[in-house]
């Protein structure tokens, strides 16, 4: 079982956990007064996009999947976060 620790997937997981904690700390600091904070929002959303991409790419194994699936997944991710940020900024 210990051989699994050397799996590349564990590195992905470590990265995911680190950025999760990072986004959590970012939001905590920025959120103490609960003001609108564009910087925090952008950082948090970009981290979420990164994490989503990592999970889809490595855990869901989309990186080894047929081209159409990779295209669909990229399109979905890009469109979703573009829309989320777009809607967010359109109300600023």
Partner 1 sequence: MTEVAQGQTAGIGEPRRDGRTGRHLPGEGSMWFFVIGDLVIFGAYFVAYMFYRGQHPDLFLQSQARLNQDIGAVNTVMLLTSSLFVALGTSAARSGKVADAVRLFVIALGFGAAFPLLKLFEYVPEVTAGLTPGTNAFFMFYYVMTGLHLCHVLLGLVVLGFVVRELRISPNPRISFVETGATYWHMVDVLWLILFALFYLMR
Which parts of this chain interact with partner 1 (CB under 8 A)? Answer: 1, 3-4, 6-10, 12-13, 16-17, 20-21, 23-24, 26-28, 30-31, 34-38, 40-41, 44-45, 47-48, 51-52, 55-56, 58-61, 63-67, 69, 72-73, 76, 79-80, 83-84, 87-88, 90-91
The tokens of 85 are what?
């940020």
- Report, in Å, the least distance between residue 86 CB and partner 1: 9
In 3D space, the residue among 62, 21, 27, 65 whose CA is nearest the CA of residue 44 turns out to be 27
Query: Taking CA 12 as the corner, what is the angle to CA 78 and CA 73, rounded to the nearest 5 degrees?
Result: 25
């Amino acid at each position: 079982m210990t051989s699994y620790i050397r799996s590349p997937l564990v590195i992905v997981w470590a990265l995911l956990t680190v950025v999760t904690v990072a986004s959590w700390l970012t939001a905590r600091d920025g959120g103490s007064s609960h003001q609108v904070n564009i910087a925090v929002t952008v950082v948090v959303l970009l981290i979420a996009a990164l994490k989503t991409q990592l999970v889809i790419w490595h855990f869901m194994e989309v990186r080894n999947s047929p081209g159409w699936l990779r295209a669909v997944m990229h399109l979905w991710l890009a469109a979703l976060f573009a829309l989320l940020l777009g809607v967010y900024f359109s109300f600023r």
